[in-house]
């Protein structure tokens, strides 16, 4: 079994998950430890069969103070009408299914749109965290776009991760990353408010979050919270992130047919065509904005793009 190599740029970012102000010591993955609490971190095998550091600190308690302010601002109709900007954008994106065959990841048009926007606005070596990296498809796609500094992290040892981590106490210094990409992950977070706070903490000012999570999808894989657009808005507000956009990941027809009726995956292109036909009918019946409003209420999942304000 080989030892996963952490790139030189990754090592200075690492911090103790129990004491995020404390840099880790150790000359290699096997020797990582916290000088403050003397916590030594075990090794694990990842999905590539490599030995990686386990920075989840399993069984080790930690305390976090999170401040809530009520009442919070809620999305008004004008703001809701403006959402889905990436969906409406004239952007020549590859077909989702074609990408899924290559990268085995849920890379919808809107995600690709904001990745391309990031690629235009940041240098190719801007550090990116692929949070909940799974099989590594997102990181592979980012690399194919010329983005060279992607750190893969996951809670699951079966993932193709550089290291194991807990999204509720990320083992990184403040302001470590220019972007965080996390797809089909946030519904599995046991405390999404804390996890979004942590993501905001490790983002640099001006950094971006691209995240997707369930809404009408069924309870699956230990999912804890399924999010409305307002729920995503609240998560961003509490974490000090500026909401930029929310979009429908997929419509209610493919979501219901797959998650409630359990039609096979091979039917999914047909369910998307059926959703398109329904949207056409809704437009004819209620006007051009009707499909947007319907999707904002009934989608299988939603995505969010948020920005950490400049200091």
In this predicted structure, what is the pLDDT of residue 94? 82
pLDDT tens digits along 183-218? 999 999 999 999 999 999 999 999 999 999 999 999
Q: Which residues contact 300 (CB under 8 A, 6 or more apart)?
A: 214, 215, 216, 217, 249, 250, 251, 252, 254, 255, 256, 258, 259
All residues at 6 or more sequence positions from 283 whose CB lies less than 8 Å from its CB, including other chains: 290, 291
Residue 265: pLDDT band (50, 70, 90) is: confident
Nearest to 176 by CA among 127, 143, 222: 127
The CATH number assigned to the domain with range 77-307 reads 3.40.50.150
Are 80 and 296 in contact, with CB atoms under 8 Å apart?
A: yes
Phi and psi for 151 in degrees, rounded to 5?
A: -100, 125
HEC assignment per residue over 200-230: HHHEEEEEEEEEEEECCCCCCCCCCCCCCHH
Percent of the chain residues topping a pLDDT of 70? 98
Residues 6 or more apart whose Cβ sits within 8 Å of residue 116: 91, 145
Return d(Cα 45, Cα 49) in angstroms, integer.
6
At which residue do the structure tokens 């999808």 appear? Answer: 217
Its pTM surpasses 0.85: yes
| Domains of the chain, residue spans | 77-307
Q: Who wins on pLDDT, 50 or 95?
A: 50
């Amino acid at each position: 079994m080989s030892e996963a190599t952490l790139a030189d740029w990754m090592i200075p970012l690492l911090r103790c998950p129990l004491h995020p102000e404390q840099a880790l010591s150790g000359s290699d993955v096997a020797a990582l430890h916290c000088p403050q609490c003397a916590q030594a971190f075990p090794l694990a095998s990842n999905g590539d069969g490599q030995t990686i550091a386990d920075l989840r600190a399993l069984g080790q308690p930690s305390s976090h103070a999170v401040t809530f302010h009520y009442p919070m601002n809620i999305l008004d109709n004008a703001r809701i009408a403006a959402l889905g900007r990436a969906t409406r954008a004239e952007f020549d994106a590859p077909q989702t299914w074609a990408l899924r065959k290559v990268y085995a990841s849920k890379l919808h048009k809107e995600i690709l749109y904001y990745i391309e926007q990031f690629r235009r606005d940041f240098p190719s070596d801007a550090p990116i965290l692929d949070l909940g990296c799974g099989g590594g498809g997102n990181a592979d796609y980012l690399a194919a776009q010329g983005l060279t500094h992607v750190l893969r992290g996951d809670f699951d040892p079966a993932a193709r991760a550089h290291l194991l981590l807990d999204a509720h106490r990320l083992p990184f210094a403040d302001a470590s990353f220019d972007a965080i990409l996390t797809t089909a992950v946030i519904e599995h977070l046991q405390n999404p408010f804390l996890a979004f706070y942590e993501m905001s903490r490790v983002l640099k000012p001006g950094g971006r979050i691209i995240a997707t999570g369930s809404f009408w999808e069924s309870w699956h894989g230990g999912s804890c919270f399924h999010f409305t657009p307002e729920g995503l808005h609240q998560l961003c507000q509490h974490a000090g992130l500026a909401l930029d956009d929310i979009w429908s990941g997929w419509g209610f027809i493919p979501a219901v047919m797959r998650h409630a009726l359990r039609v096979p995956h091979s039917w999914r292109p047909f369910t998307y065509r059926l959703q398109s036909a329904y949207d056409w009918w809704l437009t004819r019946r209620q006007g051009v904005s009707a499909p947007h409003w319907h999707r904002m209420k009934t989608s299988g999942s939603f995505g969010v793009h948020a920005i950490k304000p400049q200091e």
